[in-house]
Amino acid sequence: MRRFLTPLAAAVCALAALPAVAQEPPLPPTQADRKEIVTVVAPAPVPALRYELLPPARDRVPGNAAVGYFKAITLRPAPPKDAAAAQKQQALYETWNAAPIDRLPAKDAAEYLKPYRDMLRAADEAARCDRCDWHPGTPLKIEDIQGMLSSVQGNREVIRGLKLRARLELAEKRPADAVRTVQTMFQIAKHYGEGGTAIQMLVGLAFEAITLGCVEDMIRQPDGPNLYWALTAAPHPLVDPRPALDGEAEMSTSFIPNLRELTAGPMTEARAVKTYQDAIRLLKGSLGDAENEGLLDLLGRLEMAAGQSLQGPRAKTDLTARGWPAADVDAMPNAQAVLLRAVAVHRELWDDQVKLFYLPYPAALTQLAVVEKRTKAVGKTYPNDAIIGILSQVYPALSKVHESHRRLVRRVAQLRAVEAVRLQAAVNGGVLPKTLADVTVVPVPDDPNTGKPFEYAATTDTFTLTAPPPPGEKPNLANAVEYVVTVRKAK
């Protein structure tokens, strides 16, 4: 089985293990993600926050949600032992998931969900706990990551079950129950996404995307409420990236033992060599055998040469250039200098990417290409430093995290804009605004990627609201979304 250098590299594969449950037939990769909605003119609800997308404060109870989520996983029903039966069950789910709500076979779907009742009830209860601590009282360790990956499938089944239940509740004309299920789903996405690792963040973002599909289903109903204020009142972004970024930063340097001692001043030769050897062993233990044969061989040779550390002279020069006192650097054993240089380079490259999460997206996208160019060149800049080479594997994964986060923030803003148009149409007696500038009843969010209004066009009863691809890129499912909304007067 493949092992990963860092949790962040593992996170990208964890996300791949969570394919979004498609609501529409797959589109060609050169087209935008087209989402069609047929809905009704809908004014703002009274009170305005009648529909909340997270469990309201009045529903919260003392407890740790993480414990409840693990309980929900243990309550999963066993899958069919027969492969053909399991495949049939999966096909049924996919068919029902793709069907319009009014064509969902409610009786069959309800029967399908019966074995999942205890699991889903546990998830509902956990989502209403007043805190979520995935690692109470203990710091997260590298060896904990494999356990997280193994729990991904269980959590995926929980969110899939909740999604089908929400669609069933809409089919059975139980909108209040559907809202409660959506609250559970969004809270799971937030709790999971802010769990302190990129694995959890990406899985949380995947859960958020699935839940937004349920929000679209709510809007599609003949009596679909207007969710502008519900979407506006939800946290922006729903998943705060800081817990994952902070956790990853801490874990990425946990491969370097005795870090505080390393930075305190010159070590003895024996202590520095021992620390260097321990770091090499940790790195070797994080790599799969066959897939990383070249790196393992290089690490083995470096371990043997740790005492003399051929990288030492240049590492010392690099440390001095970074402001370390020359006298301290000269007194360091080579092994200590190499380790400190690796930590410094990694921190610089890591921070260059993390800082983009805290910029407006137009500015972040402008700088992203520059940052990626620098991270790709790290192997040429430090060709014989295996520690830097291995730590640098994390940087492409961090770019993927930023992309996924950016995509979800944009989709929420786009849905808010859709609902703003519906609000204006209600004020206009069913007439769609000609431009987004004509929407005056509420503020219309701009496209977060551009800082400019979304592209908008309207006919008598249909409007399109498009989030275009970045300049120079062709539209595809990941970089462009087009909502095509047909609005009818409520009966």
pLDDT at 399: 86
- pLDDT mean over 42-62: 96
390 falls within a domain:
yes
Length of the chain: 491
Q: Comparing 91-100, 278-287, 307-316, which segment has the lowest mean pLDDT?
A: 278-287
242 falls within a domain:
no
331 falls within a domain:
yes
Strand ranges, E, within 84-158: 129-131
CA pair distance 134, 196, nearest whole angstrom: 8
CA pair distance 109, 128, nearest whole angstrom: 26
Helices vs. strands in the chain: H and E counts, helices first: 20, 6
Q: How many other C-beta atoms can be found within 10 angstroms of the C-beta atom of residue 395?
A: 21
158 falls within a domain:
no
CA pair distance 387, 111, nearest whole angstrom: 54
Q: Is the pLDDT of residue 274 over 90?
A: no
373 falls within a domain:
yes
Q: Decide which of 51 and 30 is more confident.
A: 51
Q: Decide which of 201 and 384 is more confident.
A: 201
Q: Which tokens hold the place of 60?
A: 């919260």
- pLDDT mean over 118-128: 98
Q: How many other C-beta atoms can be found within 10 angstroms of the C-beta atom of residue 77?
A: 13
User: For the chain, what is the domain count?
Assistant: 1
Q: How would you class 430 by CB atoms within 10 Å of its CB: exposed for 0-12, middle for 13-18, buried for 19 or more?
A: middle
pLDDT at 138: 67
Q: In terms of residue numbers, what domain contains 254? A: 249-400
CA pair distance 489, 296, nearest whole angstrom: 67
Q: Which tokens hold the place of 369?
A: 């290409």
| Among 457, 454, 451, 448, CA closest to 417 | 454
Q: To the nearest 10°, the Cα dihedral for 256, 257, 263, 268? A: -120
Q: Is the pLDDT of residue 304 over 70?
A: no
Element (H, E) at 138: none
Amino acid at 127: A
284 falls within a domain:
yes
CA pair distance 446, 434, nearest whole angstrom: 17
Q: Decide which of 470 and 144 is more confident.
A: 470
Q: Is the pLDDT of residue 372 over 80?
A: yes
314 falls within a domain:
yes
In the 8-state DSSP scheme, what is residue 82?
S
Half-sphere exposure of 84 (CA within 13 A, CB side): 0
Residues 181/121, Cβ–Cβ less than 8 Å: no
189 falls within a domain:
no
What are the residues whose beta carbons fall under 8 Å from the beta carbon of 283, sequence distance 6 or more? 5, 255, 299, 386, 387, 390
Element (H, E) at 58: none
Q: Is the pLDDT of residue 416 over 90?
A: yes
Residues 3/288, Cβ–Cβ less than 8 Å: yes
Q: To the nearest 10°, the Cα dihedral for 53, 57, 58, 62? A: 120
Residues 416/228, Cβ–Cβ less than 8 Å: yes
Backbone phi and psi for residue 154, each to the nearest 5 degrees, phi listed first: -60, -45
CA pair distance 403, 37, nearest whole angstrom: 26
Q: Comparing 292-301, 349-358, 435-444, which segment has the lowest mean pLDDT?
A: 292-301
